[in-house]
Chain A
Amino acid sequence: MRILVVEDEESLALKIKNVLEAEKHQVEVAFEGNDGLDLALTEEYDLLILDILLPGMNGIQILKDIRKEAFKMPVLLLTAKNRVEDKVSGLDAGADDYLTKPFAIPELLARVRSLLRRASEEKSSVLSVSDLELNTNTHEVKRGEELVQLTSREYAVLEFLLYNKNRVLSRLSIAEHVWGDNFDMFTMTNFVDVHIKNLRKKIDDKRDKKLIQTIRGVGYIIKDEE
């Protein structure tokens, strides 16, 4: 997939490029608003990642111009401001999602995957690893042929793990994704441990192949192969 990142902070822009390229995407970067708009209007991209505060032209304006030209690709806004009005004006201008700095890389990847998946509708809405399947439309979870009943929190944790398949997730980034970022660190990491424990009981207990693995002191990972 071709992705355009418009972000004036060079180091951050390149990090995002790196991470996305590791996911086998083709990524181009623009550091200024005007350049970003030119690229977006002339090249074909499957996804745009737009910072709001940019030199030259701000992200909201770029977004409006793109939508005016009837470009329909999904747009993910990045911003350092977390005021409701900024969020609202971004979504009104036609953004598909919104991420507040500083964000977690796994969170960014999950959002990107979700946006790309939504854009290409013919693709199935099933996330899977090994014989575990999670349907993002029906919220059904299966291990093999067996239906697994999860609470809404457990479902959210599993979905996030699956969006970041084969990638180690820190407890913090899982917690932020599921519960939001308004909580105490200690509380959040506790939450994650408890829910992972419960998830394991439901999907890994009495199975030879354990899907959720603990990386001591770092976090959790869900993997295809041992």
Chain B
Amino acid sequence: MKIRVRLALWYFFITLAILLAFNLGTYLSMKHLLLNALDEELNIITNSIEINYNPQSNSFRNLQIETYNLSRHLKKFYLIVYDSEKQPVFKSPLATIITLNIPRPQTTREESYTIKKRKVEIPLFQSNGKTDRAETIIFRAISRKLFYRNQLIGWASLAMPIEDIEESMQKLLKILIGGSIFAVLLLGVGSYFLTRQSLHPVSAITNLAKKISHSSLNERIRVYNKEDELGQLSIVLNDLLERLQRAFGTQTQFLSDVAHELKTPLSILRAHWESEINNPDLPNALKEQCVRDVETITRISHLINNLLLLSQTEEIQTNFEMTHLRLDELLNNVVEDAQVLSERKSQQLNIIDLKPFEIRGDKIRLYQLFFNLIDNAIRYTPEGGKIEVASVPIDNYAVVEVRDNGAGIPREDLPQIFKRFYRVQKDRSRKTGGSGLGLAICKLIVEAHQGQIEVESEAGKGSLFRVKLPVIRS
């Protein structure tokens, strides 16, 4: 997962968890506070009943008046007072209509209270003028033993509907949920933009780094803020690029200098030996030696050229002279030249399909490429063998195939053959082998033309080299 997404999700979930905990806490403590206050009120009423006990008559004085006084505003007040014989001695009007099964208190002197829910079947009374549409009414109830001078005189069950509290709690819940949803949306969008904003320089760095290859080492990352971590990273990377560019430059210059220094003495040697061929005073045997020496000197200079070509990968284009050319004409020329070699080995070298293509490329290098491939096929195919050349379109590419029915390439050698100085068969004889750079150079030439080269082969059955080059659309 991307850091940006991960960070956004972390932001989001942590803030969400804090938000939910806070909301839950608010809700629960609010409810607790409200119920506590109510319980306190109910307890006070019970106290006043207890105070009004008359031991002489074993009854409660002013019970009716007291209770109504105390809770005038509470019309849905539910009260049953029991005497010590467990007989109800007083019932409030509500208690005569419905029965709330409030359990008898078990502990002495301690108030115990519970919440009861009841479905009210009779539409009870109107509250505050509006019709009560709730199907259930929730009561807060306490039940307490009553004492007179430490003597049990009975108990009271007291309950009050708490729809006001319920209603407030519902409202609070709605506000909290609504607020949370809003906050979550805001949070999601916020964390997305926040991480994007803070990681923007990182993606800028990544994009540039992707773009930078050995050919564009002169580009630099833009530093947004020198002080922050990403700014520091950019500076470090730029510094690295700088050194890399310098290293590449030095290497190229070095190679070019070395090549120049090597070629100058070689050209002197060559000029000397070559002119000796026409020296009438020299015996023929020595002239033959001169020719062989010139060939050796030339081989060295070829090697220098190839090494230079293979090592200057960062400015490969400068070694190529790109022009528009007809690939089919070029292939015809190559095959015509190569025919000389195939005829010597009584091989059949045929063009089986040659579609006209116009491509952009270096004529000499492409000639070298295809000649190398066909020359290889001739070398590794026995006398009387068959070599076929075809050039057909696939998508926007010209696909040139060189197929032979010769020795083929062992499977284990296939991945290696485009590597420098690699030779199949471990065969380094001058007769069949060149410098071992041939296919490496072929690959380089193909790549300089934005093409691809691949090989299919089976030992003993032959090989197929396939070169794909982009064509110019007419």
- Are A187 and B267 interface neighbours, CB within 8 A? no
Chain A residues closer than 8 Å to B302, beta-carbon distance: 181
Give min CB distance, A13 to chain B, whole Å.
10
Give min CB distance, B171 to chain A, whole Å.
82
- Are B318 and A184 interface neighbours, CB within 8 A? no
Looking across the interface, which residue of chain B has its beta carbon closest to that of A153? B337
Chain A residues closer than 8 Å to B367, beta-carbon distance: 180, 182
Chain B residues closer than 8 Å to A83, beta-carbon distance: 318-319
- Interface window among A29-37, A168-176, A203-211: A168-176
Looking across the interface, which residue of chain A has its beta carbon closest to that of B302? A181
Looking across the interface, which residue of chain A has its beta carbon closest to that of B430? A186
- Are A184 and B287 interface neighbours, CB within 8 A? no
- B472 contacts partner chain A, Cβ-Cβ < 8 Å: no
Q: How many residues from A make CB contacts under 8 Å with B?
A: 48
- Are A184 and B274 interface neighbours, CB within 8 A? no
Assuming A190-B344, A195-B340, A217-B291, is B299 touching A185 (CB within 8 A)? yes
- B320 contacts partner chain A, Cβ-Cβ < 8 Å: yes
Contact of A102 among B270, B275, B341, B364 (CB under 8 A): B270
Interface string of A79-120 (1 = CB under 8 A from B): 011111101100000000000011111100000000000000
- B297 contacts partner chain A, Cβ-Cβ < 8 Å: yes
Assuming A84-B320, A190-B344, is B275 touching A105 (CB within 8 A)? yes
Contact of B298 among A80, A172, A190 (CB under 8 A): A172
- Are A104 and B270 interface neighbours, CB within 8 A? yes
Interface string of A156-180 (1 = CB under 8 A from B): 0000000000011011110010011
**B-side interface size class:** 35 or more
- A18 contacts partner chain B, Cβ-Cβ < 8 Å: yes
- B447 contacts partner chain A, Cβ-Cβ < 8 Å: no
With A and B bound together, what is the CA distance between A84 and B267 in angstroms? 20
- Are A185 and B295 interface neighbours, CB within 8 A? yes
Assuming A168-B277, A182-B364, is B298 touching A218 (CB within 8 A)? no
With A and B bound together, what is the CA distance between A14 and B114 in angstroms? 123
Assuming A83-B318, A84-B319, A218-B291, is B337 touching A191 (CB within 8 A)? yes
Assuming A85-B318, A101-B264, is B434 touching A170 (CB within 8 A)? no
Chain B residues closer than 8 Å to A179, beta-carbon distance: 337
Chain B residues closer than 8 Å to A176, beta-carbon distance: 298
Give min CB distance, B269 to chain A, whole Å.
8
Chain A residues closer than 8 Å to B288, beta-carbon distance: 216-218
Give min CB distance, A161 to chain B, whole Å.
14
- Are B260 and A53 interface neighbours, CB within 8 A? yes
**Which of B274, B298, B431 gathers most chain A CB within 10 Å?**
B274
- Are A84 and B340 interface neighbours, CB within 8 A? no
- A71 contacts partner chain B, Cβ-Cβ < 8 Å: no
- Are A182 and B284 interface neighbours, CB within 8 A? no
- Are B291 and A219 interface neighbours, CB within 8 A? yes
Interface string of A182-198 (1 = CB under 8 A from B): 11111100110011000
Chain B residues closer than 8 Å to A167, beta-carbon distance: 278
Chain B residues closer than 8 Å to A185, beta-carbon distance: 295, 298-299
Which residues of B256-290 have CB atoms within 8 Å of chain A's CB atoms?
256, 259-260, 263-264, 266-272, 274-275, 277-278, 284, 287-288, 290
Contact of A104 among B266, B274, B341, B434 (CB under 8 A): B274
Give min CB distance, A2 to chain B, whole Å.
21
Give min CB distance, B430 to chain A, whole Å.
7
- Are B268 and A18 interface neighbours, CB within 8 A? no
With A and B bound together, what is the CA distance between A118 and B199 in angstroms? 68
Give min CB distance, B402 to chain A, whole Å.
16
Looking across the interface, which residue of chain A has its beta carbon closest to that of B363? A180
With A and B bound together, what is the CA distance between A176 and B272 in angstroms? 18
- B314 contacts partner chain A, Cβ-Cβ < 8 Å: no
Chain B residues closer than 8 Å to A104, beta-carbon distance: 270, 274, 294
- A127 contacts partner chain B, Cβ-Cβ < 8 Å: no
Chain B residues closer than 8 Å to A194, beta-carbon distance: 340, 343-344
- Are A80 and B299 interface neighbours, CB within 8 A? no
- Are B260 and A81 interface neighbours, CB within 8 A? yes
- B368 contacts partner chain A, Cβ-Cβ < 8 Å: yes
Give min CB distance, B307 to chain A, whole Å.
13
- Are A170 and B277 interface neighbours, CB within 8 A? yes
Give min CB distance, B390 to chain A, whole Å.
23
Give min CB distance, A213 to chain B, whole Å.
13
Chain B residues closer than 8 Å to A12, beta-carbon distance: 264, 267-268, 271
With A and B bound together, what is the CA distance between A218 and B290 in angstroms? 8
Interface string of B356-392 (1 = CB under 8 A from A): 0000000011011001000100000000000000000
- B305 contacts partner chain A, Cβ-Cβ < 8 Å: yes
Looking across the interface, which residue of chain B has its beta carbon closest to that of A197? B340
With A and B bound together, what is the CA distance between A167 and B259 in angstroms? 31
Contact of B321 among A84, A153, A184 (CB under 8 A): A84
- Are B294 and A172 interface neighbours, CB within 8 A? yes
Assuming A82-B305, A84-B321, A186-B431, is B287 touching A15 (CB within 8 A)? no
Assuming A172-B294, A182-B364, is B267 touching A218 (CB within 8 A)? no
With A and B bound together, what is the CA distance between A87 and B275 in angstroms? 26
- A11 contacts partner chain B, Cβ-Cβ < 8 Å: yes
With A and B bound together, what is the CA distance between A176 and B364 in angstroms? 13
- B347 contacts partner chain A, Cβ-Cβ < 8 Å: no
**Which of A85, A218, A219 gathers most chain B CB within 10 Å?**
A218
Give min CB distance, A20 to chain B, whole Å.
11
Chain B residues closer than 8 Å to A171, beta-carbon distance: 291
- Are B287 and A218 interface neighbours, CB within 8 A? yes
With A and B bound together, what is the CA distance between A195 and B341 in angstroms? 11
Q: A80-B260, A185-B295 are in contact. List 18 more A-B contacts (CB 8 A).
A: A12-B271, A16-B271, A19-B271, A80-B264, A84-B318, A84-B319, A103-B271, A106-B274, A153-B336, A168-B287, A170-B274, A172-B291, A172-B298, A181-B298, A183-B368, A184-B434, A187-B375, A190-B344
CB pairs A–B below 8 angstroms (17 shown):
A9-B268, A11-B268, A11-B272, A84-B321, A87-B321, A103-B270, A105-B270, A105-B271, A105-B274, A180-B368, A191-B337, A195-B340, A216-B284, A217-B284, A217-B287, A218-B287, A219-B291
Interface residues of A (CB under 8 A from B): 9, 11-12, 15-16, 18-19, 53, 80-85, 87-88, 101-106, 153, 167-168, 170-173, 176, 179-187, 190-191, 194-195, 215-219
